[in-house]
Homo-oligomer: A and B are copies of this chain.
Amino acid sequence: MSLQLSVDRSSPVPLYFQLSQQLEAAIERGSLTPGSLLGNEIELAGRLGLSRPTVRQAIQSLVDKGLLVRRRGVGTQVVHSQVKRPLELSSLYDDLEAAGQKPETRVLANTLVPASAEVAAALGVGEGEEVHRVERLRLTHGDPVAYLCNHLPTGLLPLDTERLEATGLYRLMRAAGITLHSARQSVGARAATAEEDERLAEPAGAPLLTMQRTTFDDTGRPVEFGSHTYRASRYSFEFQLLVRP
């Protein structure tokens, strides 16, 4: 099979990254078939004019992504497909867009409010301290999918209604130079209240999917606390996860 692999040493892109991208592309388009062996690291390094650690680094990044499996004494094999996208800290906006759904956002409220006890605890601010409160309705094809209520610390990023209606909150945060690091999530279900029924255009007492999430940046500072309710009839969480070895 041999496979066309090469690296460009004049490129600013790291060599291991060039290699891992080419291998991933080969797996994606089926040039490297599931179950096939990759050939040993030494030979691969020699063929590309790279050192073994560099080749290992490229392979390791694909192992971490779940695309390859290494077995001592055996070799490196392509996993039998199935793995597409491991769980990410995803934005509903991006998820819907990726599904070709053309998400729309209607900002219901965008104000400063004193933090409730729950919000204060999540964001690590004093109770009653001023925080941003954003309420949004997310729709596709004019139909509501979810009601999103978020609280954010003040002074973190500009939150004008216009930008909130044009894109997702996470994109705004990244654009403002915030490096998202981790999030704590809780997913549950409950019956809708009368108010929620109306907002989401569901019959009385309909089951709702709920999510609460606190997101942290890479300094460990809470940057967002969200309470979301999804129409169970129109949305479910889909994700893939890897077993950490």
By a beta-carbon cutoff of 8 Å, the part of chain A in contact with chain B is: 34-35, 53, 64, 66, 69, 77, 79-83, 86-89, 180-191, 205-209, 216, 218-222, 232-233, 235-244
10 A-B interface contacts by CB (under 8 A): A35-B220, A66-B182, A69-B219, A81-B220, A182-B240, A182-B241, A182-B242, A184-B240, A187-B236, A189-B232
Which 3 residue pairs spanning A and B have beta carbons closest together? A80-B220, A188-B236, A189-B189
Q: Please tell me if the beta carbons of B80 and A219 are within 8 angstroms of each other in the complex.
A: yes
Report the copy number of this chain in the oligomer.
Answer: 2
Residue of B nearest to A187 (CB): B237
Q: Please tell me if the beta carbons of B182 and A206 are within 8 angstroms of each other in the complex.
A: no
Q: Please tell me if the beta carbons of B186 and A82 are within 8 angstroms of each other in the complex.
A: no
Q: Please tell me if the beta carbons of B208 and A243 are within 8 angstroms of each other in the complex.
A: no
Q: Which residues of B contact A187 (CB under 8 A)?
A: 187, 209, 236-237
A184 in contact with B220 given A189-B209, A205-B205, A207-B190 (CB within 8 Å):
no
